[in-house]
Structure 1
Amino acid sequence: MNKLIDLKELLINKLNSKSATIGVVGLGYVGLPLAVEKAKAGFTVIGFDVQEEKVKNVNDGINYIGDVLPADLESLVTNGKLKATSDYSFIKDVDAVAICVPTPLDIYKQPNMAYVESSARAIAANFTKGTLIVLESTTYPGTTEELIKPILEESGLVCGEDFFLAYSPERVDPGNKDFNTKNTPKVVGGITENCTKVAATMYRAVLDGDVHEVSSPAVAEMEKLLENTFRNINVALANEMAILCHKMGIDVWEVIDAAATKPYGFMPFYPGPGLGGHCIPIDPWYLTWKAREYNYHTKLIETAGEINDSMPDFVVQRCAEILNKQEKALNGAKILVLGIAYKKNIDDYRESPVLPILDRLTSSGSSWEAVDPYIPKFMLHGKEVETIPMTAEKLNEADLILIATNHTDFDYEMILSSGKSVLDTRNSYDNLTEENYFKL
């Protein structure tokens, strides 16, 4: 017991004094901002990534994530507070390490834990007694205890005695100007009470947001899925309302705005061309997959996923309807698609619903070009596609202009003044009524 107390108090003292060295495995949309915040808080930080390009960019002070200020990254690297490596033997030099790697779905919508497992094995081969390991990647309940813990204990060290293990889900909203890694509240659940206390100490030493402690990693894993499933289901409701309102000749956005005047019992969610990003469209499926282990069928979650996944088809159907009014067919039409990113003012197109829209336009025989000031090029079925600038000439050439992502950089006055038919999936003009303007 004295040994355990000594290890716990030693690490807590290091964390409170900022003398601990902290590792971050995975330097993507979650990992790099977290590494930067930890270094800004005064810790020495080592970032780990298998992609040499990311490692080189970090060590050269070159930023590639929108939510990180380039000047911050450059300064931290120059001052020796942050460095990156692909050599996991340096795990032995850290006192605490966060795992922030992708957790994608496979083609059967089942969790692919390969990145998490390989990260855990790399840590297990190199970490030392008294280290804190925290999984941040979104995953199904049980991952930390059933997958990570056994792998780490293959080292011969015992969780809760020789090292500390916890789960703390990432909360990142790319492009959000009000909430970021620094000020967003954090949830932490450890394998043991001491694991929780040590992990919470680390986050309190770094973040301004509240750190909420829960009783186990499974609670923290489940609450993350609840957050994103809540949004997924409510967006699906908004999308289904949009389809029904269109059939009834009612403006769904006006309906939502009216409902939002109620000061209790209602929270507005808005329709769109589908769901994108690495979290909201994917995370609920972790829960659906895990539920099968308990012989439970998550009917509401799966139905919501089906509705959201069907929205690209509805968008293309609306394109065809609008072209028909001009006595034109979708087959052979020229479509100018504005926006590739899954939400406005970011450069992230992971799981963007615009990609399946482009697929459906192509299979329908139409030709399209894409405009996105944040994304100069993107991958579609393994092929690189370049976006183009939005010009009056390109607007005038189009048979239909599709606003798929409502970036604030777009010249919306120029879009309307082209006189071409516009299908707006994001209500970019609020309650505009023009002959050539159509909402979802």
Structure 2
Amino acid sequence: MRRLAVFGLGYVGSEVAMLASERGFEVTGVDTDSTVVQAAQDAPLTTSERFTATTDGAAAVTGADTVVVTVPTPIDSSFSVDLSALQAVCETVATGLPESPGGTLVVVESTIPPGTVSDIVAPAFEDLGHVPGQDVQLAHAPERIDPGNDEWSLAEIPRVVGADNDSGLDAAVTFYERLLDASIHPVSSTAAAAASKIIENAYRDINIAFVNEIATTLEQLGIDTTEVLDAADTKPFGFTRFSPGAGVGGHCIPIDPYFLIEKATSKDLNSRFLETAREINDKMPRYVADKTIHYLVRSGRLPQHASVLLLGKAFKPDIPDTRNSPYFPIRTALETYDVSIHTYDPLLPSESTVESPYQPVDAVVLVTDHEAFRGLDPERLADRGVEVVVDGRNVLDADAIRAAGLRYAGVGRP
């Protein structure tokens, strides 16, 4: 297993391709977007000569003994998962599948609902005469890449691997033992592996929703949520700290719970915790926008005559990734008040409308906790005419902001 085809050259696929080529695999990256493939050829993901890129998926599979699938599995406007890209890739792989002793290993790393491998992936191969467990080995190893996390690289993150037969599981475990330095945790089925990924992110979603709800309650009671969390966090056991904020973004936390919600609904079951958490977290961008308008009005500014600078467009600190960022619903909510809106993100200069956080605006709203914003100078903000600072991540120095004569508003902070 030294010839690898990686389908999908986004955040996950590019990392897998880069690591595999560095580990001695001959890697072919596959993407349907010719501009992505051209970029990979012009500026390779790795300096290794063992990496190439193409749009010809069937040809890439013909020369591979292992295939890793990392295509997107988004949700649509009705919160139903769209598996069309995954199905298309499986049909392409099945078309190009070579005869191989023991069968070609095909691993789905894309996040999927439980049952997807048996219901969608396996039939794509069976329809072309391939027998899972014989001439193709199917497995699921949910991706665990954390963009921007220097402490945990892809090679160091333990992986869950599942398959629906022993030969598939053995092949997948062997592959990841060669690819990673981390431990491999095998599970009994692809469905169990899929469920583990959903639970990982639903756990975070539910706990973030809990502190968001607590924050809005404590604020109405005149209690500072940050002070309360600092106090609770002194307990050395039985408490894990999560922080309230302007909203949850990214490709995992706000998406993955719907995979299980949809499955539960198909079995006439409910997922009240998951649904409630999604509802609470989805309301936080509107909460931040409304708070901004409230403080502008308190400062004597009518919304239709006010200007607001949104700091940060990315969904998490210090990465240039805007997928499902709370920036977008915050902006939409502010636009309903006819506010003039500006944007500044130092990691996304081409998507910024201004060149610094110090602008002649009425209010500044911290959306993303970039390190560059931690040292925001309240005096410089005041000199530019700023009157309100809304801290959507509770990381700014509230006392310094107030000392500069500005109104400070945090999440769950009266």
| TMscore range, shorter length | over 0.9
1:391-406 mapped onto 2 (5 Å cutoff): 392=358, 394=359, 397-406=360-369
Normalising by structure 2, we get a TM-score of 0.93
- Identity fraction in percent: 37
User: 1:183·1:208 contact (CA, 8 Å) conserved in 2?
Assistant: yes
| Equivalent residue number for residue 98 of structure 1 | 68
User: 1:228·1:279 contact (CA, 8 Å) conserved in 2?
Assistant: yes
| Equivalent residue number for residue 113 of structure 1 | 83
| Equivalent residue number for residue 216 of structure 1 | 189
| Equivalent residue number for residue 36 of structure 1 | 18
User: 2:291·2:409 contact (CA, 8 Å) conserved in 1?
Assistant: no
List runs of 5+ in structure 1 lacking aligned partners. Answer: 1-14, 63-72, 379-385
What is the CA deviation profile of residues 381-406 of structure 1, one whole-angstrom value per residue up to 9, with x for unaligned ones? xxxxx4321154x1xx1100111112
Within the candidate set 26, 31, 34, 1:52 is matched to 34
Q: Which SS does the other structure have where 2:237 is aligned?
A: coil
Q: Structure 2 vs 1, CA of residues 259 and 152 (structure 1 numbering), >3 Å: closer, same or farther? A: same
Q: Structure 2 vs 1, CA of residues 274 and 411 (structure 1 numbering), >3 Å: closer, same or farther? A: closer
1-structure distance, mates of 2:338, 2:331: 11
Q: Does 1:438 align with 2:409?
A: yes
Within the candidate set 373, 380, 383, 1:410 is matched to 373
Q: How many pairs are equivalent?
A: 399
Within the candidate set 55, 64, 85, 2:54 is matched to 85
User: 1:375·1:387 contact (CA, 8 Å) conserved in 2?
Assistant: no
User: 1:275·1:308 contact (CA, 8 Å) conserved in 2?
Assistant: yes
Out of 249-258 and 300-309, give the one that drifted further.
249-258
Out of 409-418 and 198-207, give the one that drifted further.
409-418
What is the CA deviation profile of residues 329-368 of structure 1, one whole-angstrom value per residue up to 9, with x for unaligned ones? 2222100110000111010000001101111111111001
Q: Which SS does the other structure have where 2:325 is aligned?
A: coil
* Deviation of the 1:375 alpha carbon: 1.4
Q: Structure 2 vs 1, CA of residues 411 and 229 (structure 1 numbering), >3 Å: closer, same or farther? A: closer
1:29-428 mapped onto 2 (5 Å cutoff): 29-62=11-44, 73-76=45-48, 79=49, 81-90=50-59, 91-129=61-99, 130-378=103-351, 386-390=352-356, 392=358, 394=359, 397-410=360-373, 412-419=375-382, 420=386, 421-428=388-395
What is the CA deviation profile of residues 250-269 of structure 1, one whole-angstrom value per residue up to 9, with x for unaligned ones? 22122112111111111111
Normalising by structure 1, we get a TM-score of 0.88
Calculate the aligned-residue CA RMSD, in Å. 1.4
Letter in 1 for 2:410: K
User: 1:416·1:422 contact (CA, 8 Å) conserved in 2?
Assistant: no
* Deviation of the 1:432 alpha carbon: 3.7
2-structure distance, mates of 1:213, 1:100: 19
User: 1:372·1:387 contact (CA, 8 Å) conserved in 2?
Assistant: no
What is the CA deviation profile of residues 130-174 of structure 1, one whole-angstrom value per residue up to 9, with x for unaligned ones? 200001110100001111001111221210112110000000111
2-structure distance, mates of 1:291, 1:309: 21
Q: Which SS does the other structure have where 2:373 is aligned?
A: coil
| Equivalent residue number for residue 6 of structure 1 | none
> Structure 1 runs of 4+ off > 6 angstroms?
none
List runs of 5+ in structure 2 lacking aligned partners. Answer: none
User: 2:374·2:396 contact (CA, 8 Å) conserved in 1?
Assistant: no
Out of 186-195 and 425-434, give the one that drifted further.
425-434
Letter in 1 for 2:27: V
